[in-house]
Each structure stands twice: as C-alpha cells, then as structure tokens.
C-alpha cells in the first residue's frame, strides 16, 4: 500500500501544483484573493487523503491469500527451495478489473488536465512577453522568476508522466485482458515493457535534482557556489590543521655533546 499511496499522492500534488500555477499566471487577480498558507496546507492534506483512499481501493487486488504446494524435480538444485508459497490475489476477477481501472483513470485524467493547463500557461507567458513592455526592473525580475518556476514545474510534470506512462500501459493491458480475455501485449512484450517501466519509475524518483540543474540558472549557480565553498572550506581546514601541527611541534634542541 505505501507504493500506491505515494504514487497517487504524487499525481495529485503535481496536478494541484499545476492548478495553482495555472491560476497564478492565467487568472492572477482571482488567485491573489484565495492564496495563502492555510490553503496550501489544505491542498497537501487533501492530496494525501485522496491518495490513501485510492490506494486502499487498488490493494483490493491483494485482498485474498492463496497457498500453493510446490512440486520440484527430484534433483539437488531444488532441495533448498520452499515447498509451500503464499500469494496475495484478488477475491474475484471483477475486483481485479476494478483495481486496474482505479490505477489507470486518475493517471490519464491528470495527464489530460495537466497538458491542457501547460498549454494555457505557455500561451499566457509567451503572450505576456510579447505585449508587456512597460515593466520596471523589479517587475521584470519578478516575471523572470515566475516564468522560470513555471518552466521547471512543466518540465517536472512532463518527466513524471513520461516515466509513469509505460507502467500505466501495463495496467491497461491487464484491464483489457481481464475484461475481454485478450490483451494487446504478448507475454514477451509485456515482460520487456515491465523491465522498461520499472527502470523509468526508478529514474523518476531521482530526476528532480537533474531537472532543476538543467533548467534553472539560479540552481546551477547555487550548486556551484555550494560546491566551491565546500571545497574552499575543506582546503581552509586542511591549511589550518597543517599550521596548527607545525606550531605545536616541539623545537629541535642541539645535542649536548661532551668533549
């Protein structure tokens, strides 16, 4: 369940963040009337609550435990393998179809909604860049920061949906196969796509820092400053340590040689 909880919460958080940026750019006056810290807290709480509900519905596919006795060839290689295994399976095929639908519908609904809002945001930003020529330096800086945040948000959303899309194709295949008896992927295709999908899901979990680094000049500058300062600090500490060791080393005394 934790895997599905974080999955649905991520979809909802990305979508709600896009909604906030959409209203902030396309409807700024209405957005200023409702924005605030308490609203942000409510949005985050709603994302996790709905994520919990949806993940609870999806795990119905694992609601029943079945036990199987395993029969292996009478060879030494199989002596250490378990003689009995237990699998979590759905109570019936209807629940399996339902759980697959629950995992697919929110994803594609969020995908369509985000694509629409991304298009409106890009159009509003490009239109504003062309027509607004009366800004002072402070307003120009604010607009550049806002545009940069919007670009990072859009890139993050695109990366997220692209990395999750192959996994949703697997869910659609299972849904179609259980509903009609025939899937659109063969066993070999399903296996290959499953490996690719798992790899992309893992990539998605660490992609954000790279997205920030590639799409934000401020982030790159901050990274360079932090890295350079760390190197300078380490070099300074090594220099101070060397100086301290030299200053505390006992001075050599001449040997008292008796003639």
Tell me, yes or no, whether 229 lies in a domain.
no
Low-confidence ranges of the chain (pLDDT < 50): 130-131, 244-246, 249, 252-259
pLDDT of amino acid 259: 36
Tell me, yes or no, whether 57 lies in a domain.
yes
Tokens 């919990």 sit at which residue? 52
Mind listing the pLDDT tens digit for each residue in 120-147? 888 887 776 544 555 566 666 666 767 7
Reported as half-sphere exposure (CB side, CA atoms, 13 A), residue 130 has a value of 5
Mind listing the pLDDT tens digit for each residue in 39-75? 888 888 888 898 888 888 887 777 777 788 888 788 7
Tell me, yes or no, whether 222 lies in a domain.
no
Tell me, yes or no, whether 188 lies in a domain.
yes
How is residue 135 written in tokens? 């800004």
pLDDT of amino acid 244: 43
pLDDT of amino acid 112: 92
CA distance 90 to 99: 9
Tell me, yes or no, whether 253 lies in a domain.
no
Number of domains present in the structure of the chain: 1
Pairing of strands 84-89, 64-69: antiparallel
Which domain CATH number covers 20?
1.20.1070.10
Residue 14 domain boundaries: 2-206
Contact in structure between 78 and 72 (CB atoms under 8 Å): yes
Closest CA to 100 of 61, 62, 48: 61
CA distance 175 to 67: 25
């Amino acid at each position: 369940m934790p895997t599905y909880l974080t999955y649905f919460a991520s979809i909802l958080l990305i979508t709600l963040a896009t909604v906030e940026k959409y209203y902030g750019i396309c409807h700024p006056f209405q957005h200023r009337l409702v924005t605030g810290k308490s609203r942000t807290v409510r949005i985050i709480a709603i994302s996790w609550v709905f994520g919990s509900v949806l993940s609870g519905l999806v795990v119905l596919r694992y609601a029943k435990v079945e036990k199987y006795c395993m029969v292996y060839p009478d060879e030494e290689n199989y002596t250490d393998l378990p003689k009995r295994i237990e699998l979590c399976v759905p109570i019936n095929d209807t629940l399996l179809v339902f759980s697959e639908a629950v995992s697919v519908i929110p994803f594609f609904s969020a995908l369509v909604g985000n694509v629409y809002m991304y298009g409106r945001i890009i159009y509003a930003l490009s239109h504003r860049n062309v027509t607004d020529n009366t800004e002072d330096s402070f307003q120009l800086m604010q607009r550049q920061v806002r545009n940069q945040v919007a670009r990072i948000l859009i890139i993050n959303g695109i990366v997220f949906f692209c990395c999750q899309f192959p996994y949703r194709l697997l869910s659609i295949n299972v849904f179609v196969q259980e509903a009609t008896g025939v899937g659109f992927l063969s066993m070999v295709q399903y296996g290959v796509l499953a490996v690719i999908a798992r790899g992309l899901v893992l990539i998605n979990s660490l992609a954000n820092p790279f997205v920030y680094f590639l799409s934000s000049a401020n982030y790159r500058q901050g990274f360079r400053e932090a890295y350079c300062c760390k190197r300078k600090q380490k070099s300074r500490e090594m220099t101070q340590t060397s100086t301290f060791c030299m200053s505390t080393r006992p001075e050599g005394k001449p040997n008292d040689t008796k003639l």
